[in-house]
Structure 1
Amino acid sequence: MTVYVLHENPTWFGPFAEALEAEGLAWEDWHLDGGSLNLDAPPPEGVFWSRMSASAATRGHDRAIAHTRTVLDWLEAHGRRVVNGRRALELEVSKAAQHVALRAAGIATPRSAAIAGEDPDDVARSAADVPAPLVVKPNRGGTGWGVVTFDDHESLASAAAAGELPASPDGVRLVQEYVTAPRPLITRVELVGGRLLYAVDVDTSEGFELCPADACRADGSSLFTLRHEVDPALVARYEAFAAQHAIEVVAFEYVETADGRLLTYDVNTNTNYNGDVERVAPRSGPREVARLLRTVSDVRDPVPAAQPSPH
């Protein structure tokens, strides 16, 4: 049965294409930055894997997320098997939604406020209950794009009044407490099929642009190292969260504070894997994803009706 890959960034897809082919899977690329969709026709038979990214707009693909919503609604209405479906997409594209869902699941997060619009007074009022230092980020961002820090509420208010806060494609920003860690690193926990793949530590001393894909580090440097131990209780919470929200391929990012708290701040449902880590990891991320897709494929492999792809 064919695997259909829904995404908007071919640059990130190379390792997955190699893994799909190594596992002997037939697959087709659906690039969803544009195109048309016949809503009266059924989708082809197959397994559909959504890799739509919250950072699509930073690559000029402003329409991709809205189009993917429609495609996923169409697929799910027809009962097609979707890996990382509509609920996963909505968490991917909203850090506020991630925060609310994580809190509801009993997973500790940094104190946060969501701010819609451009009114500086709204920014100051919303941020008042968030302790300084502060970080402001787009609600729909990704790869560290648009993240800025402020030492105090006054400097944040001044930046808001001057119109200097980062924009967000959906018009919403998040203000969070900037967590002080004993070392400049965060930890990224990768799950495939709802279970732990491995964890990595990420060096944050250069800033917040922490995309793990090799294509994101043009200078060949790497900020990622394999982490050999991660709190099993936290992993269990992540696995339960993934099951609750039907997310089968996901990465959670957390920071350990100076007083030992583990605060989760990101849920990434279009996760990429770092080449340096992959070379020493006990299992390959792309290969495990390909094996997951093979497992969920219908072994009966019916002959699909000819249907145009929505791109």
Structure 2
Amino acid sequence: MSKVYVIHENSEWTVHLTKRLEELGVPYEEWHLDEGTLDLSTEPPEGVFYSRMSASSHTRDHRFAAEFTVQVLAWLEAHGRTVLNGTSALNLEVSKVLQYLKLNKYGVKTPKTIAAVGKQNIIKAAESFAGQSFITKHNRAGKGLGVQLFHSIESLKTYVEGPTFEEPVDGITLIQEYIKSPESYITRCEFIGGNFVYAVKVDTSGGFELCPADVCQIGDLFCPVGEEVEEKPKFQIIEGFEDEILDKYKEVLSSNGIQVAGIEFIRNSEGEIFTYDINTNTNYNSDAEAKAGKYGMLELASYLKKILEEKYTKTTTA
């Protein structure tokens, strides 16, 4: 029997999807690719293969999960299997440099960014931002890896030459102009099957950790006795969000074979949009979804069911 194969390396992020697949009666199998073997003389099973491999997999002691997954996805594609978020998607997932190049190709504005390898080159690159604030981040990131805000070259030198410097797993540090939001929030647009599902407003006043998954949240949004604090929740789904940027995002996703993704942007004080992240291992925040009555993993499971049925369970009449 054909089924959906969910390729990943983090069960905590995947259980929400598999629960929805079970609710809908979708046959599935998990491929946890933190390690394994790949026999090139064999053919893959029939089915729909959906990759949720993450750029931050190395932070969970799955150092070569992404590299191994690229080979597995290439094997699946070589045999003509239906692969969602395949090799081209994973290549973008693990490189913000590639993300920005693809976004720029379709007229999507990104913050000024310089990629640097080597501590002295990081400092040298930052000199072009003299007089303005800038941030550092890892090229292969996820979960806000390596994101630090600096207001001077001297403070950067102290960090880079000090014991708290985080070496990127691929050796590439990005130095990027700091886009300040007047209301301290970013917007994340979710797409499933290449279609826009909803936008979520993310409060950034508490820091740069922007992962919407419940297990990623920093601190508590509620007081110990259970009463909601006066501040707004960290994640809020925006009702009726519309913007011309969505059409450009759809073009970027379609041209790069990405079916499922979350794309993040920030507006400056003039209202200009700067896009800075394409996350092909997208997660959803349960609190925000419950309040809005919209459920990303249910949408995703329904989409996977639809693709599976289209490929393997439709019958034709004579």
Q: Which residue of 1 aligns with 2:3?
A: 2
The answer (yes or no) to whether the contact 2:122–2:173 under 8 Å persists in 1 is: no
Amino acid at match of 2:187: T
| 1:285 pairs with one of 264, 272, 296 | 296
- In structure 1, the residue matched to 2:151 is 151
Residue number in structure 1 paired with 2:203: 203
* 1:79 CA drift (Å): 0.6
Whether the 8 Å contact between 2:209 and 2:218 is mirrored in structure 1 is: no
How many aligned positions are there?
300
TM norm structure 2: 0.89
| CA shift for structure 1 position 145 | 2.5
Question: What is the aligned counterpart of 1:240 among 231, 240, 251?
Answer: 251
1:215 has 2:215 as partner: yes
> Whole-Å Cα distance in 1 between the matches of residues 260 and 181 of structure 2?
27
Q: Secondary structure at the match of 2:56?
A: helix
Preserved CA contact (<8 Å) 1:135 1:150: yes
Aligned residue identity for 1:224? F
Residue identity opposite 2:186 in structure 1: I
Q: After superposing the two structures, state which structure 1 stretch, 271-280 or 289-298, moved more.
A: 289-298
How far the C-alpha of 1:217 sits from its partner, in A, is 2.9
Q: Does 1:52 align with 2:53?
A: yes
Counting only pairs closer than 5 Å after superposition, residues 76-225 of structure 1 correspond to structure 2 as 76-118=77-119, 120=120, 122-130=121-129, 132-162=132-162, 164-217=164-217, 221=221, 222-225=233-236
Give 1:129's aligned amino acid.
Answer: S
Q: CA deviation at 1:14?
A: 1.9
Code of the residue aligned with 1:227 in structure 2: it is I
Task: Structure 2: give runs of 5+ residues left out of the alignment.
Answer: 222-232, 314-318
Identity of aligned residues (%): 42
Residue 33 of structure 1 and its aligned partner are, at CA, apart by 0.3
Pair 1:271-2:282 in alignment: yes
Match among 205, 215, 238 for residue 227 of structure 1: 238
Given residue 140 of structure 1, which amino acid in structure 2 is its aligned partner? R
Q: How far did 1:271 drift?
A: 0.2
TM-score of the pair, normalised by structure 1: 0.91
Give, in whole Å, the separation in 1 of the partners of 2:46 and 2:220. 40
Deviations 1:37-85 (A, max 9, x none): 1111001110000000001011111010111011011101111100100
Q: Which amino acid aligns with 2:127?
A: A
The unaligned stretches of length 5 or more in structure 1 are: 303-311
Of stretches 160-169 and 199-208 in structure 1, the one that deviates more from structure 2 is 160-169
Kept after mapping to 2: 8 A contact 1:54/1:142: yes
Alpha-carbon separation, structure 1, partners of 2:218 and 2:11: 16
Quote the Cα distance in structure 2 between the aligned partners of 1:177 and 1:284: 34
